[in-house]
Amino acid sequence: MRQLKPRLTMLPWCRGLTIIKYISIFGHRLPITGYMALSEDILHFIWKYRLFALQNLCTQSGNSVRVIHAGTHNHDAGPDFLSARLVIDEVAWGGNIEIHIRSSDWDRHRHHHDKAYNNVIMHVVYEHDKTVYREDGTLLETLELKQRISASVLPKYREFMSGMWWIPCEKQIHNVPSFHLSQWLSRLLMERFEYKISIINALLDQQRGSWEDTCYIWMARSFGFKVNSDAFEQLVRCLPQSVIAKHMHSALAVEALFFGQAGMLEGQMFDDEYPQALQREYAHLRRLHSLQPMNVAVWRFMRTRPGNFPTIRIAQFTALYLRSTQLFAAITDARGTRSLKAFFDDLPINPYWLTRYRFDRPSSPHGTQLGESSVDTLLINAVAGIIFAYGKYIGKETYIYRAIALLEDLKAENNAVLKRFSALGVRASHAAESQALLQMKTFYCDRKKCLDCGVGLQLIKHNE
């Protein structure tokens, strides 16, 4: 007898949802049911934004339901939505909502033994497969959404989750109204500031509340321009400001401290007079202050432009410090973008670097000052963040507004991520928007958190 080979017919958006609509054998369609894991996140989203038919709502026991308030989404332990308000069978109820794929998940998660779930007023499920009860023995009203979900929601969600695009909504983002996109970017900018604040506050705790020491480390990391940010932080952590302050009368001594602690003067036989002088000076200062240099191998020169070599960046940072030992005070006292930019202009960098990118390696003459784009990068990534964090810390909105105004006054960054957004029709008009887009790409797009994203929300809710 010939073996029968069933042909499975799938719904067009079946991945992650209903897998098989029917099985076909010799032209006869036999309906079956089967489900892959349907994420509760999408059900939370559907309930939160009421993306289901609201007319003639009834629980499985036949009681009418009106949703007055869906509740507050709870991301911690306990019921999924708190303080919801419903009218069930013409009786007003206030309490919590629990959401599951199936009714039986209530028992599987052992909520029927948990007193904390006795204040759940309704169980919202995709599919009802079992009558369930609270811990106190009372019947839990259940609302099934299976036949009520908006036809566009699940297919669009599946498209976002299963697509292999650069960002999940790559083919749709241009459809988001500019007003909604602008509102979302404003919120993302605040998120980006909050993200930086968490790092700055951690540094502040480590530095026992010293904003100057915190700014010293924070600014040094930015001078590493990503490639050498960790190395720069290691450098300033092993070179306390208190040591530098004792030798501010001598530029050579300060330069020797920075290059010496960077490990760049160790075990070298230099031909040039300048590094020889640094070496002699550092040998004395090292003994005087019992200093221990870092491993020079930490610094990265490979795949880095000469102008971004750590030797040049250390020379620039040293010159910035020679200009003012009170970096934090200078930054927070400055008024306006022009004043902040001027702080980074005409730094007193040793002339040796006009014809060198590395010790003992002559090069053609070149500039040593920070370029306009480098200054903008420092203002965006370091200065705005420290000003915003300080404003939050002392509760003065003046500094917060100043940080935001600074970003709005600077040109948008120009990197690979922002070029891709621009190609999709999303162009940042200033640094505040470019920072917001970077936040969205890292914390939403890359993690496929479309249900938490303002763009994803608009596309899923309104793509009828």
| pLDDT given at position 26 | 33
| pLDDT given at position 27 | 38
Low-confidence ranges of the chain (pLDDT < 70): 1-38, 463-464
CB 22 within 8 A of CB 29: yes
Q: What is the pLDDT of residues 409-418, one digit of tens each?
A: 999 999 999 9
| pLDDT given at position 48 | 87
Sequence-ordered list of residues with C-beta below 8 angstroms from that of 439, at least 6 positions apart, any chain: 188, 189, 191, 192, 195
| pLDDT given at position 66 | 94
CB 378 within 8 A of CB 371: no
Residue 449 burial (CB < 10 Å; 0-12/13-18/19+)? middle
How far is Cα 264 from Cα 442, in angstroms, rounded to an integer?
A: 35
**Inter-axis angle of helices 454-462 and 153-162, nearest 10:** 140
pTM of the model: 0.75
Q: What is the 3-state secondary structure (H, E, C) of the chain?
A: CCCCCCEEEECCCCCCCECEEEEEECCEEEECCCECCCCHHHHHHHHHCCCECCCCCECCCCCEEEEEECCEECCCCCCCEEEEEEEECCEEEEEEEEEEEECCHHHHCCHHHCHHHCCEEEEEEEECCCCCECCCCCECCEEECCCCECCCHHHHHHHHHHCCCCCCCCCCHHHCCHHHHHHHHHHHHHHHHHHHHHHHHHHHHHCCCCHHHHHHHHHHHHHCCCCCHHHHHHHHHCCCHHHHHCCCCCHHHHHHHHHHHCCCCCCCCCCCHHHHHHHHHHHHHHHHHCCCCCCHHHCCCCCCCHHHCHHHHHHHHHHHHHHCCCHHHHHHHCCHHHHHHHHCCCCCCCHHHHHEEECCEECCCCCCCCCHHHHHHHHHHHHHHHHHHHHHHHCCHHHHHHHHHHHHHCCCCCCHHHHHHHHCCCCCCCHHHHHHHHHHHHHHHCCCCHHHCHHHHHHHHHCC
Burial 246-255 (b: 16+ CB within 10 A, else e): ebeeeeebbb
Dihedral pair phi/psi, residue 366, rounded to 5°: -155, 165
| pLDDT given at position 463 | 54
| pLDDT given at position 22 | 39
| pLDDT given at position 134 | 94
| pLDDT given at position 159 | 77
Provide the residue count of the chain. Answer: 464
